[in-house]
Structure 1
């Protein structure tokens, strides 16, 4: 039986460059589950094997992300057996992931000028250099970036797809891109509400609101793009002019 007791960190641990690692009790605590549940998930094939050093099993942030994905899918009504099948299907490249998730209908795009992109699972993986993990797939589905239509995956926006893929090619992990997108969406929703409230208060309400928003949204986009451009310029100037700490070689 493996030793899953928490012990003090070893300052000479040669795994320091691998990112955060957890023993089983630490991983279970971070995921909000018990060690017994963690073992059960492993037995059901929901977690990849841990790295072993002697009798100690070491987990990392990928295992924590997988546990968060399992929790999210359980909240959406999936069974553990269904989740295991979903993860196995995606990792083996099967094309029926959408059926397993219960997502068969393509989403409707509003009148905003975004072009949907249809991709095979292989093409999606090629865009993101092997970073289309089950965790990143689940996050993209939850955010509405992706949906499944038959044997194809549909991305909601060509511009978002291209920008995300370029960031990944430049070295930003896809998980970090998705998290940034989640934070940007919060701000974007607030901007949209500001514009909608402005139109509702001063120009139209009720049935006329939709038509007025459609007519005036290019003005809102112009203001938002200008303000974001100015904000980025201010940030660049601040970064350039900020004093930098120097360490003697």
Structure 2
């Protein structure tokens, strides 16, 4: 089943990002007994999403979420699973699931640091299973990962905390309002055109960095395409 799911996802640039079976008595969403996380490393989804978007209304709200739900939902239907998204309400503990499944830890920017992809990866959804036999298969096939070396621990100088013009990221967290105001302002042109400067300053996973068009798309989604 794992190989079948991987094959179905690959056609849209997606991969399985790990998974696990919930322990007996462990609280899970909607009676789920197991979860498989779906996402990508690097820009592999971009050509598939971009081609799909060409056939959609230009004012379609949340197109990436819509595409992700459509693609992952089709896989879920074939497998008798339930597809869920990080943007679903109530919010599900995707980051905790990811930490448990892949053994990752957050970077200073809050994005989980991956030993291969660096900061250039994402979780687009998950498949939830209630069937006990399927959950047992997932539990046997998707052993929790041993925690990889956390690259941030050995990073000299933490350039990801020194490139933002308004110091949006610090030990105190993310200064959302300051970041948003800057990116929307004339001074934020570099951010709008090239993506988050702090994220791009990270030396790890540079070969998987998103292309300019993908970074611009995410930045426009962040600012609501509003420029002052």
Question: Same fold, TM exceeding 0.5?
Answer: no
- Bigger proportion of residues as helix: 1
Which structure would you say has the larger Rg?
1
